Amino acid sequence: MSLHVFASIVTPFGTAANNRGESEGNITTLQKLIWMGLPHTTISAEAIRFALRRLLAEQESNGTNRRYNELTRVNGWEDREFQSWALDKNGQFINNGVPHFIDDDLLGFMSAEAAKGEAEEEAMAPDPQGGGEKAGKKGKGKGKAKPKGTATIRRGVLEVTRGVSLTPWPGDVTFNAASPRATQSAAKGEGDNPVPYGTEVHATRYQYGLALTPARLRDPSRAAKALKALAALNTVAGNHSRFLFDFAPDSVIFRLTEDPAPRFLYCFETPDDGRTVDAPLLDRRVASGDINPKELVIGGSFATSELAQKLKQQGATIPEPHGIRAAVEVAVQGIEAALAKGKR
């Protein structure tokens, strides 16, 4: 049986802004969706993955394959052709001296290329009107197959859900004005007047989840690195020089199990508009027998809640102190122990 690692994470309470949806006039909008019948703001999984990749690039000795250049605002590649993932006829990796990078291993990749040559012109079929041959109709047996494009694909082993606000968006919009000549856009015309603009904001927490099967990694030890990086996640989506939102976990629940289904994604709720968090869905799943509490590792502010202490009595692990890093270390030890036993 394979070991699967799942997590449900909730951020600290903060003011989210600049997480761009479609602009509406001079209003900087937030991305939104309808969640449980009400509008909530949301952050894409791609934004979370982007922030994770940037952290991994700083922490890894050989960096990452894809690295974002803050000055040119484009991605650079170390192995654009993904040569390190080439296979021989027996399905084994070819040792061609090209390093395989952690971001390719954890997050996957897809490189699609169109066909290099143009397709052969379609064979000309006789014109039924007697006007000679007519283009656009292929005669039987005379056409050649069009050349096909290629795609190099590896599915991401670390899967991340979209972040969803813990509370509905109440419609808050702030009015702002850039001072005269503060920016190039503010300097249009005479540039003597302030430039008004509006910004949608949301004071809330965000929750998201992840799934990871360490044995599917080319280097299973990277599972631990992924969890440690997620525990220190910083600039995600709406972070900007004007807005900073702490995206490192405030509370986290890990589940280390042989069950291939998470069963507790988006389990967090708030009974008091975001001041504290609870997880009634998790409580129900444990009570129903779908989740063994001994598979759980809990850290952060939720660890002090009444429900978390109840789960601890039932076998869940809550390390001392109740911090995120302590919970990550326990989860990492569980992964390493399972891999040492040969759980694939």
Predicted TM-score of the model (pTM): 0.85
Residue showing tokens 């379609």: 122
Predicted confidence (pLDDT) at residue 121 exceeds the cutoff of 70: no
Predicted confidence (pLDDT) at residue 238 exceeds the cutoff of 70: no
H or E element: which one contains 192? none
Per cent of the chain over pLDDT 70 is: 85
Predicted confidence (pLDDT) at residue 140 exceeds the cutoff of 60: no
Over residues 95-113, mean pLDDT: 90
Distance of alpha carbon 301 from alpha carbon 253, whole angstroms: 11
Q: Cα(first)–Cα(last) distance of the chain, in Å?
A: 6
Q: Which of 203, 205, 209, 208 shows the shortest CA–CA distance to 277?
A: 205
Tokens representing residue 204 in the block: 């809330």
Please check whether residue 258 is in contact with residue 283, taking contact to mean a CB–CB distance below 8 angstroms.
Answer: no
Predicted confidence (pLDDT) at residue 115 exceeds the cutoff of 90: no
pLDDT at site 178: 74
Please check whether residue 9 is in contact with residue 249, taking contact to mean a CB–CB distance below 8 angstroms.
Answer: yes
Please check whether residue 27 is in contact with residue 280, taking contact to mean a CB–CB distance below 8 angstroms.
Answer: no
Residue showing tokens 């008004």: 196
Distance of alpha carbon 170 from alpha carbon 294, whole angstroms: 39
pLDDT at site 141: 53
Q: pLDDT tens digits, residue range 273-332?
A: 999 999 999 999 999 999 999 999 999 999 999 999 999 999 999 999 999 999 999 999
Phi and psi dihedrals of 294, rounded to 5? -70, -15
Chain mean pLDDT for the chain: 87
Per cent of the chain over pLDDT 90 is: 64
Please check whether residue 24 is in contact with residue 31, taking contact to mean a CB–CB distance below 8 angstroms.
Answer: no
| Rounded alpha-carbon distances, angstroms, from residue 2 to 216, 264, 291 | 9, 19, 17
E strands along 50-93, which residues?
Answer: 66-69, 74-77
pLDDT at site 329: 97
pLDDT at site 104: 96
Phi and psi dihedrals of 200, rounded to 5? -75, 135
Q: pLDDT tens digits, residue range 11-65?
A: 999 998 876 656 666 788 899 999 999 999 999 999 999 999 999 999 999 999 9
Residue 68, C-beta contacts closer than 8 angstroms, at least 6 positions apart: 50, 53, 54, 74, 75, 76
Q: Which residue has the higher pLDDT, 1 or 231?
A: 231
Q: pLDDT tens digits, residue range 252-268?
A: 999 999 999 999 999 99
Q: pLDDT tens digits, residue range 201-217?
A: 999 999 999 999 999 99
